[in-house]
Structure 1
């Protein structure tokens, strides 16, 4: 497309007009074949443009009431021409290099195959990430080279087989290659299970597609082409392009079946003939007629119009009939399954089984974003389906189960169909059989017969709604007996039972999926067709995760919206309490119906259920029943109401538990409503009811006088405590954003001031609790909402808090930029000192020492005796590296700071002194003792740093950690994991890792790896993850068998991540590597 964009608008108009005309003659479009040269130079930008061109074309097809499949393969313009290194120079001599010819197709590990793969990298990436675009890109069994595929299309009861073979892999530079290319029989064998004749015999029509014509093959390759790849009778036609002219050739020898070669004209692009440019554009419409077997072809070509311009019409280079077409009779056999039956058991029932089962086909499209997420769950379900052919899939409403199931199918058997039966109204087998008759005209017995005829297939038993209690588990047996009958009758089928609650006492495996965490969200975005427009960093991923809550359908929508708005605009939009019909993702019909039934019921008990559901919808991270029992002062919510909602799959119970390493306390249980259900509930509320309910939640979280700007939360909400659960903080952040949006909508300045005052007090509280990531997240949401006029003081104050939180989270450059934007604001002196101190620390971290010293001097000049003044003095002493007495001066300043109750300053000084104590554990322990033993909450962050520092030095000197030190270190890990402090997190991980290794604690070692891996993946630190995978492999060799029963989930995660980097690895090779890989 490079330098040819000007061609498309005129051609597009002519093409779209002609598509309408030709459809009236040929009928609707079932498939579109592009036989290569989709772009000009193989660049990513060109493939991005291609997406929009194809989206637009398929929108035109939609106007014509059709949605054809798209089949593609690469041409010589779709590869990226490589520099001619030794590998490619050798490949240019292909026909002289017999050893290379032998090595090339043996395995994909050789340098020649690997190099060829690289030149198609952008094409392959586009292919993998385009499954969810508007155009229906069809994929199938992939082969040895990019573009090699076998694809099955079923239309109107017919099976159409398409074979695409890469013929262009040797044409990687601009030289002339006619008569020099090669297509190997191994390419065909790899995608037809080594039996192309049998593969073709299953289909009604088979088409072979390449980019180059046969005469571009080398004479030796052409011999194999005619004998091993395209012998007479195997394919109805060979379709190709490349040379910008259209033709149809028929030929037969010695009474064999006729070979048909169809050469397509270029739909878009230029053909240069010497100095002349030839606009040779066009396409062909082809219709397959089963009886009599024939191809009717309408060749179309671009013609110059009289007076200027162009139009597309018949290509009169062909001899055409009155319908502007020509017909080619086919002499090949149709599928063997249509031959006359020989025995009674071979006689088919009326209509093909494909036609009879069409009503059960699941509408589950390709979902590339799901390919590399939930990898542990993927492995578990694939193991279950391989071993038992059946499993339960448990998920909340709207968690992208279809994409997950499609990913599993594509990895197990991409060509197998998926059938779906809705069990939401299931009561017993006889009722179910009657329901089948009403919906698809089949009873249960006939259904089993047809499914057995299909062969390899998947059956989704969907919406298993009524999961019984332990005292009433008979219904489980009904479901499983039903599935077991199908399994026994259909030996090639695999069954998934999908429910929103785990079954009781099942005999089959259960796989439960949840919303994506941030690491999986990053992988989902990277693989998503629309993900290229999103700049994925830990900060932007965290914002997107807060907005979407990790729900795939919401992520899909957000990525579409990010094509027209910025991320900050998106996350500040009304994700909470949206306007009715605001265009959000449609919830599942069964979920909508279940909530509507609650809302419209006149039964008092059911009304209480809906009331509790409304209240819980206000808390994105859930809330404990005890805290909201008296949400309405006139009545109380009892546990039985929550139990009933849970039995209906409308709420889930989540635990606020630690990461799993030596968990000490029983986790608190919270009741949570998923986002799809919350949106359904909000849609049923009266106009002002959501904000009325939110004001009541503000009373619960911030105290009864919140509306005057006062911040006095109840004792149960200790936002200034380091141990405040993240769920409470996320809920509080959401409540404040809603309050501000409501105040801005009302438009009263006093109301906005009060909410901003409340927000400031709250932000300072969570900052005192060292929840800097949450403080920064709230500021990110609030600042774009605050009106710029009349609120300058609030903007400056919240920006200052934002900068401090960013600095504490390690984002020094961004914090510096924020502070520089508010330096001119006339803060009071104490606040001015605090802002300048944050800026001085930023300069110091960015190794801008002179600027840091200058600012420290300015701070001391304002007030040398304040906490900020003392810290500035400490900074100046620390930066005076040439001063031999600086540690003595710091010791004196630490004592003075403690006397003035400037404990944070004293802690910072103690940590600096410990770092420069020459690694002596006793000296370090003595210096850090006041900090580690401190009970003051304001010291928690520094206490965490001290715990890590002491653990590092003790372990480095060979001293084992005491039990108390280990508990402190585990708590430190929990804290830095939640607060996302990268450097401190890595140090804490390293110390725990060493301690667990020395204690032989494999269970905790694997748990530690699983959680740390998530953080590294999110930060793009795959090298660090690989480093610990290598260590873990060596250690597992000796220790796995001792603890395997306790660590199944963690070991599965390790295996998944290991195979992510080493696809050829298996469990045995992973745990038998030499121990010398451990360092």
Structure 2
């Protein structure tokens, strides 16, 4: 006797990623699963391949498949830690389908498949058949998932592809064993939520498209298995007859593997002396505890199969594993004793000796090479895994026109360019807009280059993944007009000493491609701008307000009602001009008003699908940081979370001690930059005209911020907010202190707009969290702070910020909040709007609080603003408001301003000029400098000569430092003009 030669296959099924509540439970199951894999490897040895027989996801959604990839990468990292890297085989299940609208006529016909036989021939013969499109569309998410898998480090089985997604033929040649695997899609008819047991189909044409002489093909292998997602009792009786007679007659396949029902069992069936048929159903690797009936326990587990030859005998040994819970609460995988096991570990299926002996592998064939049976078919489909649909929504056609033109001209001349685009910029749609202008129609392909190191390694990897030579790859690209996206290129990486920079190396790779493929255009897409490149580099920026107006006007959820100045300003504040965020906000506006969106807070996550539409690479990058065990990487994640509460970013020095005794370092910021999780913007240091220094602001781009917010729970977010409040408002802000931090005087005209935006967002965010209890210490403190903050903004002439903040904060206040502070916020908003020239809304707001019992001086302020609004609109009410001010007090600054209004309402004359000059003199004497400057500006406008006007304006500019910056700015502009 000699040791058996074996091929080992790990069989998994039914992960159901995305099932409600599952994400909370998976980490614990993963821990015990990995522990059991280690035990099994030590007992049995490493396995050569992993078969997953369907139901990766729960609803076939893209975000669910992205989560599957994250989990699979975790599993393969564990395999690598055990010293091996098996190949993966994927079969789709019914939960991997995105169900079409059940009301569609085509769907209703497909539900009656066995009654509508006249559609069968066209369905299987014509790729463009209407009913075929329904099926391939329903499985498009699954195909995207497989294509994304191919771009990861997980080795996929190189297979011959069949008619339907998931149909495949694979031959494993390993050691002295040849294993044939035929995977068949059994789920393609299960496209609605109805009961399908006994109604599904596996058609002989699916088999013939893979291998017409399947019996001969099986005869060339030592072992053969056929894989579906469903057990046979889910097939229609006529399809079941075809299965037994044409697809799997006795003696053809050694084993039928499937999942779906989540209850493991094996069955051997021999009829009237014919060869036995063997089948094995997999349990669910992971799901919820109960099946849909709410009564039956779902069994979680997996199995390892070893296909072995010993002398002339053939056998399959199977180690079934099952998850058990202990009364202590501990979970563990154990041998499944529902099977009759040998040594309490495995059971054996003894197979008949084959009459036709399989040939030995060809000498020189590499270990674990996957052979396709039909070379011609394989060549025809060589680019299929790279197919990439560039959708072109109407909203993208008219924006970024200058960038579109530059991109098109560069591709027409050089046939290649760099495109730098952060997440959420809509770069796919941008490229689609460019390609729509190409003179010839092109097919688009995407090749993941996130692990690019050098052109030789990359070329070999492309050939391996596509199952062809690199020359065949180039030939396929040359067959027609094509557009190739080399995606996620890791730019900005320092090359080893003596090595060529990655940017230059990949450009030489592209040069080979475009030389070999005369009709090919190439876009090299990266998150970070390349350095040292020779090809033209184009960087996409967020949309400005002009482009947002075009975008919203053309959007299917937009239109003229959302293109007003106010609406565009609100959308810009809530999206930063990122197209994906605009899409999400416009979707939200189908159920809320623009006013409600405005008051929701510009940095508030609104459940708009930010997690679901987050790119896979972003999810991976954040996942690696959050799961890291080493202190430096964890500190990077902590910095990322700290920056989360500063929507406009923050200087490193500002947040260095955000976590107290655990400071952040420049290396942490550099690590986040390398992962494209933050950007750095430079702004001149405000108020420091004597130096060339600039502030370096660390910013988490909005799409990343939105995704991060879905990962941070409310308790953690509240802790981050409270720490940020100390930085932005001082340590005593909860006691109502108005002592701003020394570097953040919001009443100063020099205070930066980013600091103001951060403070505004934080106040609104905190109040939203605490407003449900208006008597709480936090809510009371926040209302007091909001009133002080709004007043400071107006004092510092930050009128736009003040108007927006007052509007949004006031909208959140309830009847139990301070009526005085509410009226104060409305008054400040009215004042800010008047200063911005929006007199109609200013008058409405000011009249709303005119009868509030303010102190006399505050009432005078309201009346002044109303008088000035009516005066600017040449309305007679201005005189009445001014007289009421004088009745309250004619000798304070408001009284002097009222006198100015009354004088200016008189017809122009020398006497009027004399009165204004005298009033200005008295105002300066009483140190009412703002009033004096206002009068001076009026006198300059009415001066008899330019020289006289210039002299008056110069006096305003040279006036006291405590004069009004707004007036000084007006004087400077008048002098220029």
Match of 2:39 in 1: none
- Give the direction of change, closer, same or farther, for the CA distance of 1:418–1:704 in structure 2 (3 Å limit): same
Determine the C-alpha separation between the residues in 2 that align with 1:690 and 1:680. Answer: 14
Measured on the aligned residues, the alpha-carbon RMSD in Å equals: 3.2
**1:925 and 2:962 equivalent?**
no
- The secondary structure found in structure 2 opposite 1:531 is coil
Determine the C-alpha separation between the residues in 2 that align with 1:778 and 1:685. Answer: 25
Match of 1:441 in 2: 467
Determine the C-alpha separation between the residues in 2 that align with 1:27 and 1:574. Answer: 54
Determine the C-alpha separation between the residues in 2 that align with 1:811 and 1:374. Answer: 30
Q: How far apart are 1:435 and its partner, in Å?
A: 3.6
Q: How far apart are 1:788 and its partner, in Å?
A: 2.7
Q: How far apart are 1:439 and its partner, in Å?
A: 4.0
Q: How far apart are 1:584 and its partner, in Å?
A: 5.7
Match of 2:437 in 1: 411
Residue by residue over 1:837-872, the C-alpha shift from the partner in whole angstroms, topping out at 9 and shown as x without a partner, is: 111111122221x11111111111111112111111
Residue by residue over 1:646-684, the C-alpha shift from the partner in whole angstroms, topping out at 9 and shown as x without a partner, is: 12211111122599xx99844321111111222333333
Q: How far apart are 1:473 and its partner, in Å?
A: 4.9
Match of 1:465 in 2: 490
Q: How far apart are 1:156 and its partner, in Å?
A: 8.4
- The secondary structure found in structure 1 opposite 2:851 is coil
Is the contact between residue 533 and residue 563 of structure 1 (CA under 8 Å) also seen in structure 2?
A: no
Is the contact between residue 595 and residue 680 of structure 1 (CA under 8 Å) also seen in structure 2?
A: no
Is the contact between residue 391 and residue 496 of structure 1 (CA under 8 Å) also seen in structure 2?
A: yes
Match of 1:427 in 2: 453
Residue by residue over 1:554-581, the C-alpha shift from the partner in whole angstroms, topping out at 9 and shown as x without a partner, is: 1011112212210111233366453779
1:314-325 matches, within 5 Å, as none
Determine the C-alpha separation between the residues in 2 that align with 1:379 and 1:635. Answer: 49
Is the contact between residue 557 and residue 585 of structure 1 (CA under 8 Å) also seen in structure 2?
A: no
Match of 1:474 in 2: 501
Match of 1:855 among 872, 881, 885: 881
**1:691 and 2:718 equivalent?**
yes
1:408-807 matches, within 5 Å, as 408-413=434-439, 415-437=441-463, 439-454=465-480, 456-469=481-494, 473-532=500-559, 534-573=561-600, 576=603, 578=605, 586-657=613-684, 665-745=692-772, 747-807=774-834
Determine the C-alpha separation between the residues in 1 that align with 2:440 and 2:809. Answer: 47
1:143-542 matches, within 5 Å, as 350-351=376-377, 355-413=381-439, 415-437=441-463, 439-454=465-480, 456-469=481-494, 473-532=500-559, 534-542=561-569
Residue by residue over 1:201-234, the C-alpha shift from the partner in whole angstroms, topping out at 9 and shown as x without a partner, is: xxxxxxxxxxxxxxxxxxxxxxxxxxxxxxxxxx
Determine the C-alpha separation between the residues in 1 that align with 2:774 and 2:851. Answer: 28
Determine the C-alpha separation between the residues in 2 that align with 1:758 and 1:851. Answer: 34
Is the contact between residue 950 and residue 975 of structure 2 (CA under 8 Å) also seen in structure 1?
A: yes
Stretches of structure 1 lacking an aligned partner (at least 5 in a row): 1-12, 32-59, 69-154, 158-347, 953-1079
Is the contact between residue 29 and residue 67 of structure 1 (CA under 8 Å) also seen in structure 2?
A: no
Determine the C-alpha separation between the residues in 2 that align with 1:597 and 1:14. Answer: 40
Match of 1:20 in 2: 108
Q: How far apart are 1:495 and its partner, in Å?
A: 0.7
Determine the C-alpha separation between the residues in 1 that align with 2:561 and 2:131. Answer: 29
Higher relative contact order (CA 8 A, sep 6+): 2
Match of 1:916 among 942, 945, 968: 942
- The secondary structure found in structure 1 opposite 2:884 is helix
Is the contact between residue 388 and residue 446 of structure 2 (CA under 8 Å) also seen in structure 1?
A: yes
Q: How far apart are 1:383 and its partner, in Å?
A: 2.5
- The secondary structure found in structure 1 opposite 2:650 is coil
**1:940 and 2:965 equivalent?**
yes
Q: How far apart are 1:790 and its partner, in Å?
A: 3.9
Stretches of structure 2 lacking an aligned partner (at least 5 in a row): 1-100, 124-129, 139-161, 165-373
- The secondary structure found in structure 2 opposite 1:834 is helix
Q: How far apart are 1:353 and its partner, in Å?
A: 7.1
Match of 2:906 in 1: 880
- The secondary structure found in structure 2 opposite 1:350 is helix
Give me the TM-score of the superposition, normalised by structure 2: 0.61
Q: How far apart are 1:746 and its partner, in Å?
A: 5.1
- The 10-residue stretch of structure 1 (444-453 or 939-948) with the greater mean CA deviation from structure 2: 444-453
- The secondary structure found in structure 2 opposite 1:764 is helix
Q: How many residues align?
A: 632
- Give the direction of change, closer, same or farther, for the CA distance of 1:550–1:62 in structure 2 (3 Å limit): farther
Is the contact between residue 722 and residue 769 of structure 1 (CA under 8 Å) also seen in structure 2?
A: yes
- The secondary structure found in structure 2 opposite 1:393 is strand
Determine the C-alpha separation between the residues in 2 that align with 1:931 and 1:562. Answer: 47
Residue by residue over 1:384-429, the C-alpha shift from the partner in whole angstroms, topping out at 9 and shown as x without a partner, is: 2122111111122221111111111112247211111111122333
Match of 2:863 in 1: 836
Match of 2:896 in 1: 870
Determine the C-alpha separation between the residues in 2 that align with 1:28 and 1:646. Answer: 55
Q: How far apart are 1:496 and its partner, in Å?
A: 0.6
- Give the direction of change, closer, same or farther, for the CA distance of 1:833–1:451 in structure 2 (3 Å limit): same
Residue by residue over 1:261-292, the C-alpha shift from the partner in whole angstroms, topping out at 9 and shown as x without a partner, is: xxxxxxxxxxxxxxxxxxxxxxxxxxxxxxxx
Match of 1:967 in 2: none
- The secondary structure found in structure 2 opposite 1:412 is coil
Is the contact between residue 379 and residue 468 of structure 2 (CA under 8 Å) also seen in structure 1?
A: no
Is the contact between residue 840 and residue 856 of structure 1 (CA under 8 Å) also seen in structure 2?
A: yes
- The secondary structure found in structure 2 opposite 1:356 is coil
- Give the direction of change, closer, same or farther, for the CA distance of 1:754–1:61 in structure 2 (3 Å limit): farther
- The secondary structure found in structure 2 opposite 1:824 is coil
Determine the C-alpha separation between the residues in 2 that align with 1:584 and 1:481. Answer: 37
- The secondary structure found in structure 2 opposite 1:789 is coil
Is the contact between residue 30 and residue 67 of structure 1 (CA under 8 Å) also seen in structure 2?
A: no
- Give the direction of change, closer, same or farther, for the CA distance of 1:657–1:379 in structure 2 (3 Å limit): farther
- Give the direction of change, closer, same or farther, for the CA distance of 1:812–1:28 in structure 2 (3 Å limit): farther
Determine the C-alpha separation between the residues in 2 that align with 1:770 and 1:354. Answer: 68
Q: How far apart are 1:766 and its partner, in Å?
A: 1.6
Determine the C-alpha separation between the residues in 1 that align with 2:519 and 2:910. Answer: 80
Is the contact between residue 462 and residue 497 of structure 1 (CA under 8 Å) also seen in structure 2?
A: yes
Give me the TM-score of the superposition, normalised by structure 1: 0.55
Determine the C-alpha separation between the residues in 2 that align with 1:620 and 1:418. Answer: 36
